[in-house]
Amino acid sequence: MTDYDALIARLKFEEEAYADRVVVTTLRQAREAIEELAEDIFSFDSLFKMAQKRERPWIKAWQKATGKAGRLPDYGKLLIWLCDRAETAEGRVEALREHLGERVALEAKALARVAELEDALQLVSRDKP
């Protein structure tokens, strides 16, 4: 074997050793990436379950209101439905405020009238012999 052949054999050996190290490094990186992805999937799954739990009452209300039991709504349509419900509720609250304001005004007038009558009754009582 000549020096040239020995050099070529040595270079091939080093190349194979380097390739093995690259493969090992690549496999290690791949395993680390897989572990990171598994952690991400677990985090996303937890987040998804939390969102699903939070949305469950809204979806049940939508299903009851629309008569579509057991069906999941399109998310955009669900949000529009919820916003419409909120606007309707705001309108009802405002109507109740107005009604209560009117009731309070009427009761204030009634109390004032009762106070007038009590005063009149006291005057009559004092004038009686």
Extents of the domains making up the chain: 1-68, 74-129
Q: Which phi and psi angles does 9 have, rounded to 5°?
A: -65, -40
Query: What tens digit of pLDDT does each residue of 77-122 get?
Result: 999 999 999 999 999 999 999 999 999 999 989 889 988 888 888 8
Q: Tokens representing 19?
A: 């390739």
Q: How far apart are CA 81 and CA 65, in angstroms?
A: 10
Mean residue pLDDT of the chain comes to: 85
| pLDDT above 70: residue 128 | no
On whether the CB atoms of residues 58 and 78 are closer than 8 A, the answer is yes
The DSSP symbol for 72 reads P
H or E element, residue 16: helix 3-66
- Predicted structure pTM score: 0.48
